[in-house]
Chains A and B, each alone.
Chain A
Amino acid sequence: MTSLSDTGEFIAKKYEPKGPVVLDCQVNNIYYGDFRAVRDSHIPIEKNKVTGFIGPSGCGKSTVLRSMNRMNDLIDSFRFDGSIQYHSNDIYGKKIDPVVVRRYIGMVFQLPNPFSMSIYDNVAFGLRLNGYKGDEEEMVVKALKRAAIWDDVKDKLKNSGLSLSGGQQQRLCIARAIATEPDVLLMDEPCSALDPIATRQVEELMVELKEHYSVALVTHNMQQATRVADVTAFLGVDISKGGRTGYLVEMDDTHKIFEDPQQKLTQQYIRGEFS
């Protein structure tokens, strides 16, 4: 591991979580092949809170988020150095099967990606996978309602998920992800394809979800971060050494980040000033 003091790289002041932590994410380095995408970031995801991730494009928000349920294991060149503690187990531990991790830590992706099957089957997919024994239809309807897509699709549950519009597909994917009520939900810009009304509804969903679960949310929308995130992490990009390595600049309660940021970079980013 590269020690911080001898490279002189900036390291964020440690954020002290105020409540219990569900995912304690300690990134030392994340590589894609030789490319170092993210370095030295400690990002605890607190239980029953929405944790927001903001930062310029390419700073590694998606990369960090996708590390949290081992999605990036699908990429051959990906290498994670660090640890992510989930209920006192490192999800990168040798004995842990990523498939199990992903059953508890769900994900909504940046681009809609419904399966080529009916709308109903899309949402029921996770329930069937997890061997859910209860009333499947009830859970499917509930998930569709919570994802604010029920009114759009209630008359055509048998139609293919791919026959929906982009924004509808994204909400379908949200329904699919929440149908199994995962313990932690990772959402990568879930609203970037949604109109303001649907966006509001999805935001309400996040607030509702955090009562029982925990949410990590990547967003480019500052208002959204202030509206739903309890805690916000700001990631920046370090271009000083020729690379483009992302790192945590500052993490704190959302109002603190937006009203009284401690780092100059955070201030500039939030006010929209760039050098």
Chain B
Amino acid sequence: MVHDPFKQASSARTLSAPPSANDYMKDIVFRAFAYFCASAIILLVVYIVFEIGSEALPAIKTHGLGFITGTTWDANKGEFGVLPEIWGTLYSALIALVIGGVFGVGIAIFLTQSFVHAKLELVFRTTIELLAAIPSVVYGLWGIYVLIPLLRPGALWLHETFDWVPLFSTELSGPGLAPAALVLAIMILPTVAAISVDAFKRIPYRVKEAAYGMGATKWEVILKVMLPTASSGILAGLVLGFGRALGETMALAMLIGNVNNISFSLFSPANTLASLLASTFPEAGDIEVQALMYAALVLLVITFIVNVAGLAIQQYTMRKFEGKK
């Protein structure tokens, strides 16, 4: 029986009634279901980390932290180090984040701040979302057959003219960081754009009205009011995009060159953790597989740190701009 001391006491004509026992039952069932789903996800993550960790344990014992600072990967000599891969993963993802972020946010501004008619906006949005549906192998092929030849002349010119700039210090001889990062940028663009669009759309109309009411021009409204207001949402998009770029495998394995190499040059070949895993696994022996598991663990940790840092920045902007505790 539902506890309701008010029904008797209140005026006889009131239509107010407590929720029925059935309503409470539904509430309890739904709650249990939600808890179950949430804890299942956490359990799954813990299980994956545990599995990878135990597979990697022998490698961790043998190589220790030297694994992270080592720069050679040679299964024959039993020497394993992933510093170049860590570098390549972060560097390529960062370049992709900058390019994809600028374009993604730019597109979001273009689509939400009444630059285009609503119908045209839908066309743009759908097209951008289509980019997310293209398999990464296709991006890889496109990169090899279209992007690399396209980049070559420009890369050559940049290298010859500005070879004292570290970014352009080598020649683009085929696969390399630049094509890989550009393809990554295209791949994270839909994520960044879609989430930023939502962030802009969530801004109440009256905020925009207030900004125009102060006599701000369109660009002042966008840069000084809309962008800060949407910033926590945009950041969420950037973090997701960055995470995606860190873990992207197929297209990178095809485009980055898979060479253990630490260089600032955009045109030199490099390697990433995910691409190392993909390209080495098929022919790896037991010892090497353990080392690869260790590499996978490193990638997991990097992704985890990036997400936590992103969350912290997001919380900070929320507090700063929106006054949320």
Interface residues, chain A, with chain B CB atoms under 8 Å away: 69, 71, 74, 99-104, 106-107, 109, 111, 113-118, 125-126, 129-130, 159-164, 173, 176-177
Q: List 16 A-B contacts (CB under 8 A).
A: A103-B215, A106-B213, A113-B204, A113-B210, A115-B207, A115-B229, A116-B228, A117-B321, A129-B214, A129-B216, A130-B215, A160-B322, A160-B323, A160-B324, A162-B324, A163-B323
Task: Please give the distance in Å from B201's CB to the nearest CB on chain A.
Answer: 15
Most A CB within 10 A of own CB, among B213, B319, B323: B213
Q: Is the interface of B mostly helix, strand, loop or mixed?
A: helix
Residue-wise interface mask of B (188-221) relative to A, using a CB-CB cutoff of 8 A (1 in contact, 0 not): 0000000000000000101111111111110010
Neighbour of A109 across the interface among B206, B216, B217, B228, CB < 8 A: B206
On chain A, the residues within 8 Å of B323 by CB distance are 116, 159-164
Asked whether A102 and B212 contact (CB < 8 A) given A115-B207, A160-B323, the answer is: yes
Which A-B residue pairs are the 9 nearest by beta carbons? A160-B323, A163-B323, A103-B215, A102-B215, A113-B210, A116-B321, A113-B206, A162-B323, A107-B213
Complex contacts, B214 vs chain A, CB 8 Å: 102, 106, 125-126, 129, 176-177
B219 to chain A: closest CB distance in Å? 11
**B7 adjacent to chain A (CB < 8 Å):** no
A99 in complex: contacting residue of B206, B207, B215, B224, CB < 8 Å = B215
On chain B, the number of residues with a Cβ less than 8 Å from chain A's Cβ atoms is: 24
Tell me which residues across on chain B come within 8 A of A69, comparing CB atoms.
213
Bound CA–CA A115/B322 (angstroms): 9
Residue B320 at the chain A interface, CB threshold 8 Å: yes
Decide: B212 and A74 in contact? CB cutoff 8 A. yes
The answer to whether the Cβ of B225 comes within 8 Å of any Cβ in the partner chain is yes
User: How far is B214's CA from A115's CA once the two chains are assembled, in angstroms?
Assistant: 11
Most B CB atoms within 10 A — which of A113, A163, A173? A113
**A198 shortest CB reach to chain B, Å:** 20
Q: A111-B206, A114-B210 are in contact. List 6 more A-B contacts (CB 8 A).
A: A71-B212, A99-B217, A115-B210, A115-B228, A116-B207, A177-B214
Q: How far is the CB of A271 from chain B (nearest CB, A)?
A: 34
Please give me the residue from chain A that is nearest to B217 by CB atom: A99
Q: Whole-angstrom distance between the alpha carbons of A176 and B207 in the complex?
A: 13
B211 touches A115 (CB 8 A): yes
Residues of A within 8 A of B210 (CB): 109, 113-115, 173
Residue in A closest to B218 when the chains form the complex, CB atoms? A99
B residues less than 8 Å from A109 (CB atoms): 206, 209-210, 213
Q: Mark B240-275, 1 if CB is under 8 A from A, else 0.
A: 000000000000000000000000000000000000
A124 to chain B, nearest CB (A): 11
> What residues of B have a CB within 8 angstroms of the CB of A99 in the complex?
212, 215-217
**B residues within 8 A CB of A130?**
215
Q: How far is the CA of A71 from the CA of B204 in the complex (A)?
A: 16
User: Do residues A160 and B321 form an inter-chain contact, with CB atoms below 8 A?
Assistant: yes
Complex-state Cα separation, A102 to B320, whole angstroms: 28
Contact (Cβ within 8 A) A113 B212: no
Contact A125 B209 (CB under 8 A): no
